Structure 1
Amino acid sequence: MTVLRYTVPPEKDGCRLGLFLRTQGVTAGLIKSVKYDGDGFFADGRPVRTNEPVHTGQCIHFALPPEQETSVTPQPVPFSVAYEDEFAAVLDKPAGIAVHPTLNYPDGTLANGWLHYLQAQGRTGVFRPINRIDKNTSGLVLCAQNAFAAPLLAASAHKCYLAIVQGTLPLGPGRVEAPIARRGDSIIGRCVREDGKYSLTEYTVLAVGHSHSLAACCPRTGRTHQIRVHMAYIGHPLAGDTLYGGSDAVIHRHALHCGILCFSHPLTGQALRVESPLPADMAALAQAEQLLDGWQLSALPCGAPDET
Structure 2
Amino acid sequence: MGVEVYFANGVRNIVPYYHGRAAFAKGRWFKRTLLEVLVGEFSADSRDEYLEGIKNGKYRIIREGFPLPPEEVLTSPIRNSDVVETNSHKHEPPVKQWCDEEVDIPGKKVAGIDIVYEDENMLVLDKPNGIPIHPTGQFYQNTLTEILKTRNKEARPCYRLDKVTSGLLIMGKTKAIANEIQAKIRSRDMDKIYLARVSGKFPKSECLTRGIEDHLPTPFEDKSMITTADSATYTVELKKSFPAGLSVPKTAATSFYPLRYFPNHNQTLVACKPLTGRTHQIRIHLARMGFPIVNDPFYNVENSKYPYRSEFILDVEDWENCPLTADDLRKEFELFDEECDKAREKQQSEQKSLVCEECGSIQAETPPLKELELWLHAWKYSDSSQTFTYETKPPAWVNEVCLADG
Q: Say yes or no: TM over 0.5.
A: yes
Quote how far apart the aligned CAs of 1:270 are: 6.8
SS at match of 1:150: helix
1:166 aligned partner: 199
Name the amino acid aligned to 2:400.
Q
Alignment of 1:6-155 (within 5 A): 77-117=111-151, 119=152, 126-155=154-183
Q: Distance in 2 between matches of 1:181 and 1:270?
A: 32
Q: Which residue does 1:178 correspond to in 2?
A: 231
User: Structure 1 residues 104 and 170, CA, compared in 2 at 3 Å: closer, same or farther?
Assistant: same
Post-superposition Cα deviations, 1:63-86, rounded to whole Å, max 9, x if no partner, equal: xxxxxxxxxxxxx65422110111
Which residue is equivalent to 1:239? 294
- Higher alpha-carbon Rg: 2
The answer to whether the 8 Å contact 2:380/2:389 transfers is yes
Which residue number in structure 2 is paired with residue 214 of structure 1? 269
* Partner amino acid, structure 1, of 2:172: A
* 1:247-287 Cα shifts (integer Å, max 9, x gaps): 56xx65321000112258xxxx871211112223x24xx32
Q: Does the aligned pair in 1 maintain the 2:123–2:155 contact within 8 Å?
A: no
Contact kept? 1:130, 1:150, Cα under 8 Å? yes
TM-score, scaled to structure 2: 0.44
Provide the secondary structure at the position in 2 that maps to 1:208.
strand
2:375 matched residue in structure 1: 255
Partner of 1:196: 249
What CA deviation, in whole Å up to 9, does each residue of 1:236-256 have, x standing for no partner? 1101012112656xx653210
2:258 to 198, 201, 205: 205
Q: Deviations over 1:132-184 (max 9, x none)?
A: 10101010111112233223211334321000111011232111111012237
Q: Which residue of 1 is the match for residue 395 of structure 2?
A: 279
The question of whether the paired residues in 2 share the 8 Å contact of 1:137 and 1:256 is answered with yes
Report the CA distance between 1:195 and its aligned residue.
6.2
Distance in 2, matches of 1:233 and 1:218, equals 16
Change in Cα spacing, 1:199 to 1:99, as seen in structure 2 (3 Å) is same
Structure 1 residue 127 displacement after superposition: 2.4
Secondary structure at the residue paired with 2:182?
helix
State the SS of the aligned residue for 2:149. helix
Residue-by-residue CA offset, 1:198-225 (whole Å, 9 max, x unaligned) = 1111121112221111111111222211
Percent identity, aligned pairs only?
Answer: 32
Aligned letter for 1:182?
A: T
Runs of 4+ residues deviating >4 angstroms: none
Match of 2:401? Answer: 288
> Partners in 2 of 1:222 and 1:109 — Cα distance?
23
Residue aligning to 1:229: 284
The structure with the greater share of residues assigned to helix is 2
CA distance in 1 between counterparts of 2:298 and 2:227 reads: 23
Equivalences, count: 196
CA distance in 1, matches of 2:177, 2:155: 13
Computed over aligned residues only, the root mean square deviation of the Cα atoms, in angstroms, reads 2.9
Paired residue secondary structure (1:236): coil
Mapped contact 1:78–1:113 kept (Cα < 8 A): no
